[in-house]
Structure 1
Amino acid sequence: MVGTCAEAGVDIYVDAVLNHMTGTGSAGSGVGSAGSGFEKYHYPGIYQDADFGECRETIENWDDPGEVRNCELLDLADLATGQEYVRATLTGYLNDLTDLGVAGFRVDAAKHMPPEDVAAVMSGVQGDVHVFQEVIEDEAISPAEYTHIGDVTDFAYSRRLSGAVSAGDLSGLAGLGGSDALRGDQATVFVDNHDTQRENPVLTYKDGAAYDVASAFMLAHPYGSPKVMSSFDFGAGDFDAGPPAEQDGTTAAVECDDEAWVCEHRDQAIAGMVGFRSATHGAGITDWWDNGGGQAAFGRGGSGFAVFNREDAELAGTFRTSLPAGTYCDVTAGGCEETYEVGGDGTFTATVPTDGVLALHVEATP
């Protein structure tokens, strides 16, 4: 899979679970996906009882950093990541993956390990890999404690952006950021992810066009490294539903034409903005405009310009940009079906419908 994707220009990042082994749903014993039997705290050929932490109770006091990092998350057997054998085993696992050609890792539940333990594990990883760590910020643990290791997931950004778009108030998003503890170059940002989609979501694919507007805004705005969700339909209120599966329980092949697969990444308002993000990389925000409510527009220097409308009325007007004069394709419309002429004074005229997005950039011309 890694090789096939590399040939298509797609890098693979592995969601690396380093903090824990089995727990909820298999707290006693079971059989792993490769057929090996196990009991909690006993995993033949890998870990035994002494390789797990002394605190074998589930986390109760989330205001205590020591408990959050050393006790069990959802009854999952918590590895003693301060031990050299455990660290070496985890580093070896990651190096097996880099040998396969993976480009980097999302470190799952990094918050539940001391930063020095995560740093020790990652220090032995070979190759030039990109690392971003899951740290849900709270009063006890700050994401800034992990930035010396790699980027950190910015949950505050998701709440701020999704909340503003959901409320139809884009006027305050010019200086959009996330956690006060992170800089943009340290943050991995998203509208939703596989956890927030199921628990206390602000926006998900179920919100239709509003979700697309939020995702497009994220890709247009320079803050952070954006992560686009692509998922499957989990039904109304069925938050524990797994992906479409075959009769033997294995996940079915992804078919984006099948309604069971949502495939948000193919929505044109999102897909077209990926190219916008690349074309405008390194450029700050220019030519900001808003109407004080749900309509806003901004440029990315002389590289791109985007318009967003979250109001009930269409947005019709003339927009001032820093783009060179010329004809540009609206990348949110698909291909080059809709074009706009930017004049010598940097202006163009357009009408953007309710819940609509328009985006032009210098690498998308007829």
Structure 2
Amino acid sequence: MRPVVLATITALAGAVVVPSATTPPADEAAAAPITGAEGPIVQMFGWPWESLAEECRSSLGPDGYAAIQVSPPTEHVQLADQGYPWYEDYQPVSYDLRSRRGGAESFENMVAACNGAGVKVYVDAVLNHMSGSGSQDSGPGSGGTEYSKYDYPGTYADSDFHDCREDIADYTDQWEVRNCELVGLADLRTESSKVRDTQLAYLNRLLDMGVSGFRLDGSKHMPPEDIAAIVDGLHETSTGNEPYIYQEVIADSTTRGTEYTGNGDVTTFTYTDRVSSAFAKGSIAGLRNLPEETDLGSGQAVVFVANHDTERDSPPLSYEDGAAYDLANSFTLAFPYGTPRILSGFDFGDDTDAGPPSDDNGFTRPAGCADDGAWVCTHRHTPVAGMVGFNQAVRGTGLNDWWDNGGNVIAFGRGDAGFAVFNSGGAQGQDSGETTRQFRSSLPAGTYCNVLTGRFENGECGGETIEVNSDGTFTTTVEPNSGVALHQDAELGG
């Protein structure tokens, strides 16, 4: 979604109460374990289907990612006069699978390849709206369909859209938020059985192709009961399970994330603001209390450092921040709250509207992690990829053995299965140098691979190794914007 309401994220920052740093006792009660999706998700923003199939086989599957979130596969507007911006994808003109990333056959082949590599596919589904005022007279859609706003032949007619045909003006008015237009996008009557049946036919087609779930774009702009009716009509996945659902809700005083948890998980932008800001400023000790700062339980929340909207909206952290950004993503994979999602997209430079690398007709070129920096492969970065195994190894455990220095260095355990240390580099006025100390964990004695510095593969460590003593202690030096992550499945000789 390309929402004006991203301003709400900034407003949320002002509403967050940041606790003072503390050093609780090592035997504190464990925090609630994660119970959401089955592991880390990667948002492969803008990637074409054939490239995704190869990436699942070569990297995402072997590294242990549970799922990918793919960009909307539906036919969408083409805005040649605007240079084919990224937000074309969020203005559907039909539910045909003919996007700039490929057609139905290449999409289905991608899903099969990723499933075969052990990676589930979640589709970013746009159900709240169709095209917007800005695409009027821009020509046919990416699959050749002729359309106009409120008239999509074979899909929707004028009567399928809400009567409020003005932009949302008052975000404290829930009726406006759910019935008027988000930045000029034609707002669908999701309470209509015709609209729901049309959308269910599309979503169930994807499930029958092997898709495992959906991220529901713009959920805040649809009543939760409308979403419930659609979710209730979904087929089972190809493995006989209920599809995994997570909903984009930018919560505020008018719309709470908890209103939507009956339908599935919910994104929490409070988390995004807190973690991104903390690692950007270097003061991370207060992050211990993250679960208390959102109204969503761990098993209801999808958490992330950045998504395709926030990285374009004056973010505290984005891919341009390098090591600090990777470290924040590593923390998200280590901390016991929510289902973590990593963003891998493309370098848009100073043009926040820029679409993915494309040909002269706006169709996306093949993506790859060696493509001269055009594609940002955060999921492959060593500190991030190494933490996927950590996340899986500590799954179901809570938080223990917390320590912090009141500012830029924190350490915590995940039961006796893992232990992590993060040095964010330090805020202004704080010591931003290296930290050398003895840390106390609940890990069994042994020699462990620090997976923040290198992968653990075939019993060998590609990075630093650390010796843990019989009492769980170890001594090490942690440089700024780096850390230590040890877990039970990365013990040498274990």
Q: Could you state the TM-score of these two structures normalised by the residue count of structure 1? A: 0.97
Residue from 82, 88, 93 that aligns with 2:202: 93
Aligned partner letter, 2:422: F
Aligned partner letter, 1:319: F
Q: Quick check: 353-362 or 167-176, which moved more?
A: 167-176
Matched, 1:317 2:431: no
Q: In structure 2, what is the Cα distance between the partners aligned to 1:232 and 1:208?
A: 14
Question: Contact 1:28–1:40 (CA<8 Å) still a contact in 2?
Answer: no
Residue from 212, 223, 230 that aligns with 2:344: 230
- Map of 2:172 onto structure 1: 63
- Map of 1:185 onto structure 2: 299
Residue from 391, 416, 421 that aligns with 1:302: 416
Pair 1:320–1:210, CA change in 2 (3 A) = same
Pair 1:178–1:119, CA change in 2 (3 A) = farther
- Map of 1:165 onto structure 2: 279
Pair 1:98–1:41, CA change in 2 (3 A) = same
- Map of 1:244 onto structure 2: 357
How high is the sequence identity, in percent, across the aligned residues? Answer: 55
- Per-residue deviation, 1:166: 1.4
Matched, 1:326 2:446: yes
- Per-residue deviation, 1:248: 3.1
Pair 1:214–1:66, CA change in 2 (3 A) = same
Q: How many residues align?
A: 365
Question: Contact 2:285–2:405 (CA<8 Å) still a contact in 1?
Answer: yes
Q: In structure 1, what is the Cα distance between the partners aligned to 2:134 and 2:454?
A: 44
Matches within 5 A, 1:98-137: 98-127=207-236, 128-137=242-251
Pair 1:24–1:10, CA change in 2 (3 A) = farther
- Per-residue deviation, 1:92: 1.3
Divergent runs of 4+, >6 A = none
CA RMSD of aligned residues (A): 1.2
Matched, 1:50 2:159: yes
Pair 1:142–1:364, CA change in 2 (3 A) = same
- Map of 1:360 onto structure 2: 486
- Per-residue deviation, 1:163: 1.3
Pair 1:179–1:30, CA change in 2 (3 A) = farther
Question: Contact 2:260–2:266 (CA<8 Å) still a contact in 1?
Answer: yes
3-state DSSP class of the match of 1:172?
Answer: helix
- Map of 2:469 onto structure 1: 343
Unpaired segments of 5 or more residues in structure 2?
A: 1-109, 237-241, 426-431, 456-460
3-state DSSP class of the match of 2:216?
Answer: strand
Q: In structure 1, what is the Cα distance between the partners aligned to 2:473 and 2:180?
A: 59
3-state DSSP class of the match of 1:86?
Answer: helix
Question: Contact 2:133–2:149 (CA<8 Å) still a contact in 1?
Answer: no
Q: Quick check: 22-31 or 46-55, which moved more?
A: 22-31
- Map of 1:138 onto structure 2: 252
Q: Could you state the TM-score of these two structures normalised by the residue count of structure 2? A: 0.72
- Per-residue deviation, 1:249: 2.0
Aligned partner letter, 1:343: N
Unpaired segments of 5 or more residues in structure 1?
A: none
